[in-house]
Chain A
Amino acid sequence: MSTTTLPPDGFNAAPKLADVLPPRKERGRIGMFIYRHPTIAVGGFMVSLFVLMAIFAPLLWTVDPTALAPARRTRPPSAQWWFGTDMLGRDVYSRVVYGARISLIVGFATAIISAVIGLTIGLISGFIRAVDAVVMRVMDGLMSIPSILLAIAMMALTRASVENVIIALVIADVPRVARLVRGVVLTLREQPYVEAAVAAGTRTPMIIWKHILPNTLAPVTVQATFFCASAMISEATLSFIGAGTPPIIPSWGNIMAEGRALWQVKPYIVFFPAIFLSITVLSVNLLGDGLRDALDPRMAKRI
């Protein structure tokens, strides 16, 4: 601390802000963001590309992905059929582009729904001890069910649909979010700033809203991005084994399933959806990694 700005006794006057804190570095907002969080920038950019691709699928030089043309089955990639055609003569490129819709819908829906439900359950059981014991045993029970098996069982009982895939994956993910949130809430409750808020007369709902919730959002967001990535893989797995998205709707999983039989002679039918799936999952995971680094309070000091 500089002594020049302080009066002799050092305590009677407040110092100027500039003496207390260094001035903030000026940089363009977008430039600053990319500089500070390169992984979020790359991951976010790639995820948004895929989202745009899914939304504008009809405009991306695609044809009807379900149109059958037995006369031109299993054509290799060419100028006319960029990714070739499958066993029923459907355009693989169009199917892959439309398939992005299913992957992204399943990924985002699973992540958002399980985050919201898990957050609510976690907050409640972290705060109300009586509820905690019961709810957490139920969550333990749910967690012991493998998500893929649960999904297969649900498909066997009902009919195959995208909604059922989402429901099965949400049931598997909710307990994980709930446990995470509960753990965070239990540690946050003991934080001195929460105790100070109690001493300052803040009522419990406001404590949850102002002190607990904002501090749980970061880990939940990070967890949700990873659930999004793993939900995409699970959806592809389920569709691949025929227990997921019905074959009438193209999804990366069932495109691969249909190409599986011809894998050794016509590898491109499997190759293109697999590459798209990998790159999408990679970009969502990059985004998640970046968010984890950026939202970690210990990293917040890097201003």
Chain B
Amino acid sequence: MTKSGPLGWLIRNPIWVFVAIIFVFFSLSTDRFFDIANFRNILVQTSTIGLIALGMTLVMINGNIDLSVGATLALAASVTVDAMGWAVFADWGNWQILPAVLLRLLTGVAIGALNGFIVWKTGVDAFIVTLGAMLGIRGLVFVYTQEQSFFATNFTYSDFDYSSVLGVPTLAIVFLVFTVATHILLSRTVHGSNTYAVGDNREAAVNAGIRVGPHMVVNFVIVGFFAALAGITLSTQMGAATPNLGREFELWVITAVVLGGTKLTGGAGSIIGTFGGVLAIGMLRNGMNLIGVPAFYVLLVLGTILIFVLFLDKQLNRQGDEEIRL
């Protein structure tokens, strides 16, 4: 069933067929879709989910999952906005953003490391570990913020999302740069190869001497980093961190990654696919908004597409009629 050439590539990456269909559909439906400014918009809007999806792809190829990304994002955002108000940094002017952002990334990295370490040392399934973390970290956010929103008083920070380099929004650039970097990490480096190996056949990876535990921790750290980074997009857009920030992001992110063809059981997937999944979601939200469909239809369509892609993937990978029917 495996074909080479463009057709084979599309069979293995059916998401890009969807991207093309969605693209053509909306381009024909409304004039406002096929427009450079709108494409920029889509990139900025998707950069949040997109960044997390990059890290999630690594974790899921590893055969793990991280449900705590939304909560991580919220905690990191609260820490940042809070830290900018600390008296220590009061005289730093715009430089106060720097320690705040570093602190934010550190928070994400720390939570990722914690999740990864628990998965490694206890042997508890990542689904359960991060399910617990998702609840617990969200609880931390609520307790930490006392259920209040924090507002950034530094406008350089909150105006960041309007900034651009050579006409391309900074946030879009950040997203694209990290997409390329993660793609290279996954497809060209030893760490990337090991990521596939661990998810594909963990026993073989152990036998081959790959240090599976620390390896998985690294990928959890990466997704924690991206979750914290993605919070920048959100909290700069809003100039505030609400305790509910990033809620259900894990669902959007996992949807994007699975749409992009990453296998839940691990061992298969790609950043190119994930990028397609992220774009599909972004274009769908944007396009449906432009043609005036109420936002909640997007949820219905998205859920349906997710299940349909799964179905399609199953059909395309069948071994024909001679397959054993279990």
Are A and B physically bound partners? no
Task: Please give the residue numbers on chain B whose beta carbons come within 8 Å of chain A beta carbons, in ascending order.
Answer: none
Task: Please give the residue numbers on chain A whose beta carbons come within 8 Å of chain B beta carbons, in ascending order.
Answer: none
